[in-house]
Structure 1
Amino acid sequence: MDEDVLAAMKRWPDVPSVCGWLSLDPRGNWRLHPQGDAAAGGLGEPITNPRILDFFARNYAFEEDGRWYVQNGPQRVYVRIDVAPLVLRTGDDSITLFAHTGQPVGRVDSWWLDDTGRLLASTDLGPGVVIDRDLSKVLDGLQDEKGEAAARPLADGETPAQLKYEPLPQSLAPFHEVSSEELPARLGFVAVP
């Protein structure tokens, strides 16, 4: 977090948090809900100012209970999560994974395929959804323990397939199927704080 944000938190420790003003869409776009009605599911207004977007990226964090927020000075602004708290993209090399905040993914602990065809990952940064435009590139990089193309994910009750994303120097991670309604509980985040 920014030094001035940390200083403001120390200076004013009891500023109440707010909900309903921010959301994060499936493509990693921040949206403002000027009426404070993000929980109602509305689209909101796009936030496009580069300085604000950079500020959000540097000051986006989560609490242990799975609520994600932007620390805006001394105030926490909780975020409605439309799919996952992070949106994962490939870098200029078309294979390195980055969160929408610009942070590189260093590890994937599990892969998830939901019932709408979205690919998600539990990463060292938190849970993220692979942005639709990079989905085929990431799927092409998934390999099983023999180095072959990814197998289908297995449902609950079956032993999950183990996959590795070739660009990451890590061990294999389980590959699961999940319904989109179960995503928050299974990946450990609060969609609507």
Structure 2
Amino acid sequence: MDDIVRQALAKWPNVPHCTGWLLLDRRGNWRMRDEAAQAQGAPGEPIRHEALLGFIHRNYEADARGQWFFQNGPQRVYVELVYTPWIVRLAVDANGALTLTDQAGGTFTPNAAWLDDEGGILLTQAPAGEREQPRVAALHDHDLDLFSEHAEIAADGQSGAFHWRSDVTLPLQAIARADVGARFGFVASPAGQATAAQAAPAPDDHGPA
């Protein structure tokens, strides 16, 4: 978390939370949802401002209930998740090894792989602490062809294997998309469940102060 955010929290500790205004889509794009977008159930406009995107990534985390938020100064902006809290891209580096990178630009090292009932691929990363949940990410749909080049999927679409490294093969486990949030401890739509769930104005979309 940025120091400027910690200072704002200390100065204004009781600013109401904001829900509904920020969304992470299935391809890892952050979207700002105004009142019209919320009323229509639309995803909202993609955020393009590089400084704001960096600010969101540095201050993105989950609360004890598994609700993900962006700490915008003293205000906690809860995030609507189209699927998982993280979206990863699969690529091949200059040495021919596979790499996974999350929407914040961080390295993602999988320890398990999952195949959902809609054909999506999920990957988990071991938690940093004993009490934490594994970090779960959905693979960007543009990378499914590359994934298939390094995987074997059974005819029934419910099992298989992902060859992550020459010496690391991850079994593909079946999971229903509807069960993913509960299985990995996150809330896809935290609106109305925040600890201070008053309505609040939209977050400032012009970048960090």
By the TM > 0.5 criterion, same fold?
yes
User: What's the TM-score bracket when you normalise by the shorter of the two chains?
Assistant: 0.7 to 0.9
CA spacing shift, 1:16–1:132, aligned 2, 3 Å = same
How far apart are residue 175 of structure 1 and its match?
A: 2.6
Mapped partners of 2:107, 2:126: distance in 1:
10
Aligned to 2:174: 177
How far apart are residue 40 of structure 1 and its match?
A: 6.8
Letter in 2 for 1:105: F
Seq. identity, %: 36
Q: TM-score, normalising length from structure 2?
A: 0.74
Aligned to 2:15: 15
1:78 paired to 2:78: yes
Stretch of structure 1 that moved more, 83-92 or 46-55: 83-92
Task: State the structure with bigger RCO (CA 8 A, min sep 6), 1 or 2.
Answer: 2
Q: Residues 20 and 36 of structure 1 are in contact (CA less than 8 Å); yes or no, is this contact kept in structure 2?
A: no
Mapped partners of 2:39, 2:116: distance in 1:
22
Q: Residues 37 and 43 of structure 2 are in contact (CA less than 8 Å); yes or no, is this contact kept in structure 1?
A: no
CA spacing shift, 1:165–1:74, aligned 2, 3 Å = same
**CA RMSD, Structure 1 to Structure 2 (Å):** 2.8
CA spacing shift, 1:91–1:57, aligned 2, 3 Å = farther
Which consecutive residues of structure 2, in runs of 5 or more, have no partner in the other structure? Answer: 128-134, 191-209
1:115 paired to 2:112: no
Q: Residues 87 and 99 of structure 1 are in contact (CA less than 8 Å); yes or no, is this contact kept in structure 2?
A: yes
Mapped partners of 1:42, 1:73: distance in 2:
26
Count of paired positions: 180
Letter in 2 for 1:166: R
Q: TM-score, normalising length from structure 1?
A: 0.79
Mapped partners of 1:116, 1:30: distance in 2:
23
Aligned to 2:105: 102
